[in-house]
Amino acid sequence: MSQIAKEFGIDKALKELGLKDINNGTSTGKDFFSNGEIIESYSPVDGALIGKVKATTKEDFEKVISTASEGFKEWRTLPAPQRGEVVRKFNDELRRLKEPLGKLVSYEMGKSYQEGLGEVQEMIDICDFAVGLSRQLHGLTMHSERPGHRMYEQYHPLGVVGVISAFNFPVAVWSWNTALAWVCGDACIWKGSEKTPLTSVACQNIAARVFSENGVPEGISCLITGDHTVGEMMTKDERVPLISATGSTRMGKIVAKEVAGRLGKTLLELGGNNAIIVTPDANIKNTVIGAVFGAVGTCGQRCTSTRRLIVHEDIYDKVKDAVVKAYGQLRIGNPLDENNHVGPLIDKDSVKNYLNALKKVEEEGGKVLVEGGVLEGEGYESGCYVKPAIAEAENHFEIVQHETFAPVLYIMKYKGDVTDALKLQNGVRQGLSSAIMTNNLREAERFLSVEGSDCGISNVNIGTSGAEIGGAFGGEKDTGGGRESGSDAWKVYMRRQTNTINYTTELPLAQGIKFDL
């Protein structure tokens, strides 16, 4: 155990979460023997080895998929409110283990402890939502055009749902999918990120215990672990009708093609390139809070992180100076220490991408306003701590058109009205989150109108970062088009069936066709 791990009680958290020195990365909910390769998980906080997890082999996967498929046959017959009751009990355990799980998320992923707790809270919230939903999985009733007929639609569970998740939300994304899929009557197989394998094992431990105590069939919550090759076992398998994949656009394009090739369904939650438009009517103080939190929170590693600030020329200097000044107050360091605002990047590859973005923006003619760089010395031994940077840039720069998953904020000027700002905002391939800061009703409404923001999430007077679980979450264009979490996102985990019942003694045929026997 490293000094930081001891000081912040990581060993106690690992014990409470049932983690061992070597953990099984494959699980159907019961004991499982695997010969898988060992993945070591190092903390970006201090570079220390946290634990080891055995990856999933092809043979393991075969056992997982057959157990999940069998378990589904029984689980689907349980009334949905009873499935909801199991999710409620799972949620009780999440509430009890919120602190150790939040701590592990922070230590293994590098986000602040507060954000780690916030992520577990999102799990709790979506489970609450799912419990209510378990009594509301309703379809419509329509009037039949034929006399003596009744027509309605109902939703049945889909089957085995595959969930592939990214490192930056190592626990919440799993529950956004599974809490809904479970009440819908599906079995779930989760492939978490190979960069955060211990948090995945910790979550599966909780689900496995609660499910077994409540007589849930084996295989309803399964875990597989490893890199893209393990993900591919699931995307290629016809026994998995839906793949919900969260991660980079690069990954999403590969997964979409693979699953479409076998006519499976996908729910894709991919990269963003999110902007805040700041109009002359904006509240500057709130703009600075929203922009700084959005750009440096989770060290710029949220899909909804603010990457571009599009500011009207009349207030450009004022906003620029205020944001630059705020960056001067940021404290970078151990994310478990609540005094720090910014933790580390996930690994050294991410550091490389960050440095490359800073180099490229200058090569393309941008001007660095707040200098970046890698921090060294005491407290920064992992080599993953970087300074949040700001650069003046043009929207058409190649580097600005890309999502750099790091704390680099591009600031740019617009002239004219909100339509001109929207051209810049919408002028990228990604379409996840967007925001406008304005007290002008006309500007706000134009931003939200059909000719306004083309993103899945569009906010007025709050930043781009984060979302509530009650709304459907996701984005357009290169963000993949998927929606998960609240609203009617549950429908993707079910299949719709239209039923027509004839309660007469006749069989009238459509289009007036007569077929007398």
Full strand arrangement of the beta sheet holding 494-502: 141-142, 149-157, 494-502
Interface with ligand NAD includes 345 (CB under 6 A)?
A: no
Q: How many C-alpha atoms does 16 have within 13 Å on its Cβ side? A: 16
Interface with ligand NAD includes 272 (CB under 6 A)?
A: yes
Please indicate whether residue 398 is annotated as part of the active site.
Answer: no
- Which one of 153, 213, 227, 313 is in contact with ligand NAD (CB under 6 A)? 227
Interface with ligand NAD includes 271 (CB under 6 A)?
A: yes
CA atoms of 198 and 141, how far apart (whole Å): 46
Q: Across the strands, what pairs with 24?
A: 54
Interface with ligand NAD includes 118 (CB under 6 A)?
A: no
- Which one of 254, 289, 369, 460 is in contact with ligand NAD (CB under 6 A)? 254
Instruction: Give the footprint of ligand NAD on residues 416-435 (CB under 6 A).
Output: 432
Nearer to ligand NAD, 416 or 470 (CB): 470
Smallest distance, ligand NAD to C-beta of residue 484, A? 8
CA atoms of 319 and 227, how far apart (whole Å): 42
Interface with ligand NAD includes 232 (CB under 6 A)?
A: yes
Nearer to ligand NAD, 75 or 176 (CB): 176
Nearer to ligand NAD, 231 or 486 (CB): 231
Structure tokens at 338: 């609540």
Instruction: List the catalytic residue out of 115, 122, 218, 269.
Output: 269
What lies within 8 Å, CB to CB, of 136 at 6+ separation is none
Q: Count interface residues toward ligand NAD (CB under 6 A).
A: 29
Phi, psi of 334 (to 5 degrees): -45, 115
- Which one of 10, 270, 421, 435 is in contact with ligand NAD (CB under 6 A)? 270
Smallest distance, ligand NAD to C-beta of residue 467, A? 9
Smallest distance, ligand NAD to C-beta of residue 130, A? 18
For β-strands 149-157 and 494-502, DSSP reports them as: antiparallel
Continuous H helices in 76-227: 80-96, 98-109, 113-133, 172-184, 197-213
Q: How many helices (H) and strands (E) does the chain have?
A: 16, 22
Interface with ligand NAD includes 37 (CB under 6 A)?
A: no
Q: Choose one: 120-128, 264-272, 284-292, 321-329; the region binding ligand NAD (CB under 6 A).
A: 264-272
In this structure, how many other beta carbons lie within 10 angstroms of the beta carbon of residue 268? 25
Nearer to ligand NAD, 302 or 446 (CB): 302
Interface with ligand NAD includes 248 (CB under 6 A)?
A: yes
- Which one of 108, 218, 237, 403 is in contact with ligand NAD (CB under 6 A)? 403
In this structure, how many other beta carbons lie within 10 angstroms of the beta carbon of residue 500? 11
Residue located via tokens 């904006």: 282
Interface with ligand NAD includes 408 (CB under 6 A)?
A: no
- Which one of 23, 177, 178, 193 is in contact with ligand NAD (CB under 6 A)? 193
Q: Across the strands, what pairs with 436?
A: 277, 460
Nearer to ligand NAD, 23 or 274 (CB): 274
Nearer to ligand NAD, 227 or 451 (CB): 227
Interface with ligand NAD includes 194 (CB under 6 A)?
A: yes
CA atoms of 104 and 298, how far apart (whole Å): 15
- The radius of gyration of the chain from alpha carbons, rounded to an integer in Å, stands at 25
Question: Mind spelling out the 3-state secondary structure of 176-214?
Answer: HHHHHHHHHCCEEEEECCCCCHHHHHHHHHHHHHHHHHC
CA atoms of 190 and 25, how far apart (whole Å): 10
Interface with ligand NAD includes 122 (CB under 6 A)?
A: no
Instruction: Give the footprint of ligand NAD on residues 148-187 (CB under 6 A).
Output: 164-169
- Which one of 91, 112, 205, 235 is in contact with ligand NAD (CB under 6 A)? 235
Q: Across the strands, what pairs with 408?
A: 389
Q: Across the strands, what pairs with 157?
A: 494
Supply the DSSP symbol for 145. Answer: S
Interface with ligand NAD includes 491 (CB under 6 A)?
A: no
- Which one of 172, 479, 492, 494 is in contact with ligand NAD (CB under 6 A)? 479
Nearer to ligand NAD, 320 or 348 (CB): 348
| Cα-Cα end-to-end distance for the chain | 84
Q: 3-state SS of the chain: helix, strand, coil percent to 5?
A: 40, 20, 40
Interface with ligand NAD includes 108 (CB under 6 A)?
A: no
Interface with ligand NAD includes 71 (CB under 6 A)?
A: no
Catalytic residue positions?
Answer: 269
Contacting residues toward ligand NAD, per CB under 6 A = 164-169, 191, 193-194, 227-228, 231-232, 235, 246-248, 251, 254-255, 269-272, 303, 403, 405, 432, 479
